Structure formats: C-alpha cells, structure tokens
Amino acid sequence: MTPLSLVHRPLLAKLAAGLLGCSLAALSAHAQTIEKPAGFPEKQVRLVVPFPAGSPPDLLARIISPSLSNRIGQTVVVDNRSGANGNIGTEHVANSAPDGYSYIVCGITCSTADVFYKNMRYDMRKDLLPVVNFGVFPLVLI
C-alpha cells in the first residue's frame, strides 16, 4: 500500500469537509421541523433579568423579546429583578416551577456566584439548566 500523495490529501480533506457540511445541513433542516409541544405556551413567558434596566442583559432581553413573542405566539415579558449581584433574580428563577415559562438572561456573574457568596439558596448546577447562548458582550479595561 502506498501512502497518499500530496495531491490526494487536500482532495480527501475537501471531500470530508463537504460530507460534514451536508450532514450538518441535514441535521439543521430536521431541527427546524420539530414542532412545539401541544398547548405550549398557554400563558406569558417571562425573561427574568437579574440586573437593572439598561444593563447589557436587559438590552439583549428587550431586543429578542418581540421576535420571540412573534415566534411562539405568546407575550414575552422582561422582568428586572436586580440586586445582590444577580442573586435575587437568579434565585427567583431557580425557585420557580420548572414549567418552561420562566427564563433567566444572565452572564458569567450568575454562574460564578457560588464561588463568591456563602449560603446560596440555590445551586446553579442543579436548579438551573442552560438553554441557549444568544449574546457575547466583550469587556475592555482602559
């Protein structure tokens, strides 16, 4: 058996990349045809922002809420529950019923709170489940 020549390797790499691209396209097409459960949502959906109005998570929630509302056919309310570096709003969502109607829009501060605060009344790893990452806000120190 002879090793692949330098001419054939790029060709095989392009072929593999093309097959991977086609596979991913087929999977994404299938994912778009998945329908929502019957009867969901029956009431308004809340996006809880554990920071004050005007903060980056609040702006992001207010930007996506109209299109999300149109997509699911139900009202989407942005609920600011600021305080304690995001712990108040995060605790509110963690203690909400796990029915899919309360979501938190939060950054890294919510996921690292257990490192900085003792006696947290919720466990970020057990009580909350990440759903989607829909924004990145870079920070700059000058």
pLDDT, position 18: 52
Q: 40 falls in which pLDDT band (50, 70, 90)?
A: confident
Q: Flag whether pLDDT at 31 surpasses 70.
A: no
Who wins on pLDDT, 45 or 136?
A: 45
Residues 50-68: tens digit of each pLDDT? 999 999 889 999 999 999 9
Sequence ranges of the domains in the chain: 45-127
Left if phi > 0, otherwise alpha if psi is -120 to 50, otherwise beta: which for 105? beta
Q: What average pLDDT does this structure show over 67-74?
A: 93
Q: What would the mean pLDDT of 81-108 be, rounded to a whole number?
A: 92
Which residues, 6 or more positions from 53, have their beta carbon under 8 angstroms from its beta carbon? 80
Task: Flag whether pLDDT at 39 surpasses 70.
Answer: yes
Q: Please report, for residues 38, 54, 55, 93, 112, the alpha-carbon distance to residue 99 in angstroms, rounded to integers and kept in the order given.
A: 14, 28, 27, 11, 25
- Look at residue 56 in the predicted model and tell me its pLDDT: 86
CATH: 3.40.630.10, 3.40.190.150, 3.30.428.10, 3.30.70.260. Which one for 45-127? Answer: 3.40.190.150
